[in-house]
Structure 1
Amino acid sequence: MNLDKLWSALQRVGTTRNRRAHGARKPRRATSQPRLEHLEGRVLFSVQPVGVTFAPIELLAFSGTVATFTSNDPTPQSASNYSAAIVWGDGTTTAGTVAANGSGGFNVSGTHTYAEDGSLPVDVRIADAVDATNATAASTATVHEFSLSITGTPLATTEGQALSGTVATFRDPGSPDPASEFAATIDWGDGTTTAGTISGSAGNYTISGNHTYADEGTHSATVTAVENNTPNFSVSITDAVNVAEADTLANDFIATGTIQEHEFVGGVAAVFRDNGYPTNSPSDFTASFDWGDGTVYTTADGNAFVTTDGAGDVTLSVAGHTYADEGTYTVVATLGDDAPSGVSISNTGTLTATEADTLTGNPMTFSATEGTAFSGAVATFTDTSSGDASDFTAAIDWGDGTTTAGTVSGAQGGPFTVSGSHTYADEGTFTPQVTLTEDAPGTASATATSQATVDEGDVLTPAGQTITPVESVSFTGNVATFSDTNTANTAGDFAATINWGDGTTTAGTVSGGGSFTISGSHTYADEGSFTVTSIITDDAPGTASATATGTAAVAETDTLIAAATQPTIATAEATSISGAVAVFTDANSSNVAGDFTAAIDWGDGTTSAGTVTGGAGSFTVSSSHTYADEGSFTVKATLTDDAPGSATATASNTATVAETDVLTTAASQPTIAAIEGNSFSGAVAVFNDSNNANVAGDFTAAIDWGDGTTTAGTVSGGSGAFTASGSHTYAEDGSFTVSVTLADDAPGTAAATAKVTATISEAALVATGVTVNGFELAPLTSATVATFTHSGAAEPAANFTATINWGDGTASAGTITLSGTTYTVQASHTYTDERTFAVSVNVTDDTAAATANTSAVILEELLPNGTRGTANQRFVSEVYRDMLGRKVDASGLAAWSALLDTGTSQFQVVRLIQTDPHHEFLFREVDQLYRQYLHRASDPGGANAAVQFLAQGGTVEQLATILATSPEFNQGQTNGSNDSWLNAFYLDALGRQVDPGGQAAWDHAFAGGATRAQVAAGIFGSDEYHRDLVSAYYLQVLDRTADAGGLAGWSNLLKQGVRDEVVLANIMDTDSHEFFNKTAP
């Protein structure tokens, strides 16, 4: 439709008030019944304002009432329904404050400062937010001139002397007022304020005052004149008062004399005279007293105190002090006037501290070890005075011809401990002399005689040796060594004895130094191993000793040799053999068979004793044995001389054992069943062996698992029955033929192969959902939605697929990654609404599948600055998104949230947005109606005309009627007949085909002369249309279907003629605050 035609049609439209809702969104939460106090369609409010004339003073802030108004609504309204703006008449406009005045009306008040005097017109503009009415009250501001002026008088005086006279003059041009009409105060700048005396008349006045400054310096005195006791008519001036110094200080007395060191002394330290200002306060002085030993007491640290007698004597007293040492000390007392004065004086005297120490020595008994450094206390001393350890020196005569300095320690006043370090060269008892002496000029001294017990310090460490004599041959040589911790000792300091282990003991010879050797001579009668014990002893008075244990390995003279020709050993596996296995010769032909023992190692891990026969230097070893397996075995026979003889010889022979095994597969084989990716471990085949003597170790097994992998198997069993076992992990499920081969070990040749089927199942998937957090309309990028594990071995992530159902009617594929044994599912998605969505993630692999259920917690979309903002800001953002279909802009957010912050209701803010002069809400309504009924976007001309129609009071349903009865609608959606028009209108207005009953009723109306506009008005007034509209509103702003109570209540209000947008605003501001609470989390 073009602009002219649409506007013409809009001028002719009827009074239908119904419309279709749009922009519906999904269900959310429950709401309460409609709140009627905000509903329009009632008798409108109107205000009757009256201006209030007021008289401010230039340059002074005015605050007060500028207008009043009443409402003719029978139900009184709240002040929060109104807003006010005050145009002050000097180019300034500010917001006014509306408050009930207790008389059934309201006052408008404001605050403002006028820069100039004069009579100015004032306009007070009042707006009613409920019925959108405005009114203006006219008032007048009579601004008076401010005329008082004041001039200061320079002042100067001396501390302690009275100041009296004129302190300021002031003028009030043209004033006939006497001096009694004014009052004055004088702030003297030193914490004192007094009333001033005013004299004069006819606009010229003098202010006088009296004051005495207690201290010198420059003070800022402020003089204030007030007219008629009214602070708004006052002037002040601040001038400097220069107060001169009056103090003249002189020395009178300083403490001198003699005291004892460590004696506590304090009290009056000095007296001074203040001849210039004898009444000066003690607090005006600072003082210090230097004791001459590095200690200074001051009034600042609280150890020096100043008092005055009011007649000029200034006394300096000090807290107690103790001299740590005797001596003569120069003391200095200093007195100074406090800032800004520079007056000060010092007096010097002498104090003498005399000796107070009397020392008494107390001996100690201590222990040490020769050759080891001693360090510790050697004596203690007591002192009759309270000296410090640093006041003394100590000397220690250790009693062995050595004297060293000692270290003195202890608390003030003692007792004191003297410590020292020393190494005694030898053991014994010594008498150390310890002398403590006070440092100069002190003379105190005392000596203590202590006792040192020095213990044996030698520590001997022995080491035995192994010697190798031959039986009946004399041995001479070293048998042991030892070391000594005391490296000063020599070989002559020790004696040694040797026990040879065969019942003989002789003296040993000691040689060396620091490290010593014991040697001796001896002849053993027989071969064997003997324990040699050597004892070393320190000479008197030393008590150190040590014992070394060594071994004498006395060699055998017998010689045994395996014969050049050995017996033949031949048999079959599992068959017993008995007979000779080895032959030996002996160089000692006197030995008999009973002098020897024999052991046979059969070469198959078995050892047994042999039987020895023969004599005259030739001996045979015989025995019996059964070989369990075929092969060639090395048989070793060892012949050994009996104890204490050590002669021995070993003969090697070969036993040839023939094969007898026959291997077959068992009739019943094990079952192999596993899960892909999981390790299988167990029996895979069973075999029988004709040789019951064979053991599992005689066989090897190889397993071909049927998937291209072959591994060695483990053989177990015995007594003719053997099981092959193995471990393997199948990468995929399926059925595999497993070939198992059992083979006799070399040189055996027996072998058999068994075939078994392995059934491998698909591995299970276990998925766990991960909660997703985000914001409405903010893309979730690569968000983790689930993790899962695969009970089989880790497979490539590409083997799996994942599908995410986002809970908002959309689904997408996920991206899968693998880390360790855990797979992660990630995906990207954008939610267009805030709420908690139920999310499911389905993961598949071949025939296995798992589903993880989780949730996406989506909060209200972020504000333009990227934050969530306040609750009121989030409310405004949601209104823009749900009602205007866009993100809130920064200026709109600031303006509307500011209203909410200052008490404007949510309903009022929604209505203000709907009725905003830019008509964004109305343009959106118009465009949606175009799309609903003309199935296209609105054109600029038509949109502007339609918005003006709605802004001037037309309803959405009236506009929809115009569109639905337009030629464009008739040509584009009907064949020209009323029936086709009716069906098309039903589809657009009610979202369904016309039903037979409705068809008949409206055909009857057409037959009776009803127009299409009248039929449209009837449909728009139907309960079905009202319920559809309310349901759409619920989905649009509450994200849920309407509950029965809300559906009935709001539909009834629409039926009563309440405008669509008012119902929408009320749904967004119900008592339960359901819409507001959407943004609360």
Structure 2
Amino acid sequence: TLVLRLDTHTYLWDFGDGAISSELHTSHVYEDNGVYTVTLTVTDNDGDSGADTLAVTVVNVAPIVEAGPDQAANEGDTVNFAGTFTDPGVLDTHTYLWDFGDGTSSVELDTSHAYADNGVYTVTLTVTDNDGDSGADTLAVTVVNVAPTIDAGSDQTANEGDTVSFSGSFTDPGVLDTHTYLWDFGDGATSSELDTSHIYADNGIYTVTLTVTDNDGDSGTDTLAVTVVNVAPIVEAGPDQTANEGDTVSFSGTFTDPGVLDTHTCLWDFGDGATSVELDTSHVYIDNGVYTVTLTVTDNDGDSGTDTLVVTVANVAPIVEAGPDQTANEGDTVSFFGSFTDPSVLDTHTYLWDFGDGETSGELDTSHAYADNGVYTVTLTVTDNDGDSGTDTLTVTVVNVAPTIDAGPDQTADEGDTVSFAGTFTDPGVLDTHTCLWDFGDGATSVELDTSHAYADNGVYTVTLTVTDNDGASGTDTVTVTISSTSGQVPEITQIFITENINENDIATLAGNFIDPDMLNTHTLVIDWGDGFGDIIALPVGDRSFSAEHWYLDDKPSGTEKDDYTVGIVITDLEDGSDTALARVTVNNLAPEIVAFSTDSGGCCGSAGKREVSIFAEFTDIGTLDSHSATIDWGDGTITTGQIDEAGGAGSVSASHIYTDGGIYEIKLTVTDDDTGSDVNIISQAFTGVRVVDGVLQIIGTCADDHVTINMTKSCKSSRLKVHANFLSHKGHGNNRGRGFEVFDASQINKIVVLVCDGNDKVTVAGNIDITVIIDGGSGSDKLKGGNGADVILGAEDNDSIRGGGGRDVLIGGDDRDRIIGNSGDDILIGGTTIFDIDDADFGIAKVAPEQSFDEPLMAILAEWNSPRDYTTRVNNLIDGSGSTDRLNGSFFLQKGLTVFDDEKQDCLTGSSGIDWLLLFDLDREDCFRACNMHDQYNDDIVFLCEYTNSLNCYSWNTHNSEDSEEDNRRLVLLCLTEKT
């Protein structure tokens, strides 16, 4: 049969491990053991194919290992191992195990090992493939023993006989070795302890060796030098002694020496130039004194010890004879001759006579004159050169001598003239004190030595001067004075003194001096005080001065602030001789003072319709004779006079008035006296209703629950303010809630004042109103919200909710627990109260500062807070005025305990956006406060992060400044008024 083979073919071997071949006859190497199915596929050119398979079993081959050559090392050295292996199964993975022959191993192919002890170690490397077959190889490591390294310690120095401590140390890389120790102390002694001690019996330099030997017989050594210093003997000279000069003193010394083999020499130095070389000896001192005796003992090494004792040799004092007692007059010279004996012929001596009157002499034979009489004990003291002395006394009796007097020459003068006297005297008792007595012969005397006297009448006078010393002896002398007559002369006023300026109802004092040659004349003083009153005063003989007082009850009732009074003075003597003088007193009017001012309609509460108000005031006036008038400006354009009831500088004012409209009225009372002096006081009075006064929109509520809403509507022509309130009605306008309204031209309003008085009130100011608003909630729990302007909001009493508006606001919680939110803008938040708060005390009772409107302090604080100054300057201006000199708050400051007070209730303050100033007191009371710009696009230079701190949902604060704003660090963002601030 003919078969035509016209097809062509292709071949494909699939070896079962991902490899293929297109050759019909081919070969293949398997990289890993296993059973593989091999397929051959033959395809003709028509696309038809046939296939057949076979199985190939590949057997695993263990790796062949090379551990490396044998090695040698010292114990403790690191031996490196780097094994190799081959495996025909190139896809196999392998694990490694080194067995170092000392019980340790490693699973790293390249590794190292330190042997802790010497020896020959067989090291085996085993390599195992992932099919479990392994190969191994070994090598030998010979580890040589290393001798220990020794440190015997540092050189030492000690005294002979001291205990020297030795503390050696060593290192050995053979950490399994055991060791023995040997100390050789260099003096034949040894020790087998590593830490030991030794006592050297003699001084010298010793080489000390420490040897440490390990259990393999290898050893190391180290040495140190010990320098043993000789110790001087310790000497005891014996106790201190006393003796008289010339006595024999015995000495018996002892000593000890740790160098027991030393030999010694001794030397006593007796302190007076004499010595002895005997240990037991004696000595005689030829003079008294305190002697330091030294015993020195020296050993054969040249070191010596000493000790001292003190020998006190007593001196014998000389025996003194001062001589017999004596008598003399004061001022006489008294002679003294003393003598003495002394057993010590070598002593030198000094002499001291004490004469008993503070005077002395250093001569043995001497003399002395006593300046005063008396009995004097005279003492002679003889002192030898050793300081010992003997004394003896005698008595000198000195007799007093009377002074000798000279009263001066005779004199002549006219009556009334002053005659001078200058006496002299001598007294040998120069220490005497003296008294003098002039008897002028007319009954007058003087105790001055230099004196003068005016005789009142003519005549011849014998004048006696007597001088008496302190011992009672006296001398006298006389002088004659002839006085001529001077009749016919008159008195003369020489000086006038007066209180030139006084207030009415005060006292003026008049005083003056005059002269009159006739000393026996009497005088009469006549005073005309110029106000219709006068005084006549009789002056006694000899008086040449006068004084008087007068009470001016009023300045002249002339309608002037002050008036002058001319005072006339006349002095007349017995012969009708006289002199006159004038003086002037200015008397000032004092204005009256209103001491009480009140109305019968106090407080904020009121009602719609007509209101009658009565006022009552009390006043005083220093001018008890003044008359008074009163006017009352009722604040609504009406001025009336008041009813006056007065007497004796005190009075009262009463008046009444009817108000037709609600609002705030300032009632001004003026009290005026008849001399143009006046006083003014003001009361603010509030009535329910709404009105505009001088650009201020006043909204006054009731004592019930008030609801007030203030809105603004704007058009192209005008803006209008609409006030809705539940206490208003306007031409029938009102909503279904019963609230009427009033409408005002916003362009005529520059401030809004809202007083909602008592009750739980709600006040809301629209956010488009940028006019300054003052809101006072009064008593009750109120909800108060400001507008877009600079606002002042006061919660007053009870628990209030206060929310600021868009401007820089001042928010004051007042008493009780308050919730205050600052809203946008820089706000001041005060949890407590201030002295500037508006309350019932501002209405119906006179002010402490009557010239000040009820809201002036708060408006001044608000003005400064809204000034263009930076934050820190504004805060400092409001704290104490230290920010700038042109501050707008004047003398109104926010200071703890002075103007700002803790209400002692828990408040919750939230600053919201803007840079706010929170005034708190007691953070421990859990007051809530939050001052946060969590994300403030306008003030992103300062961000506050707030987090809860307690179950009351109160907040604490942390500040985080921007990265590079220096201004941030200067901003004050929170002030807590604690004791520390």
TM range (shorter): 0.3 to 0.5
TM-score by length of 1: 0.30
Give the structure, 1 or 2, with the largest relative contact order (CA under 8 Å, sep 6 or more): 1
TM-score by length of 2: 0.32
Higher helix residue share:
1
Structure ID, larger Rg: 2
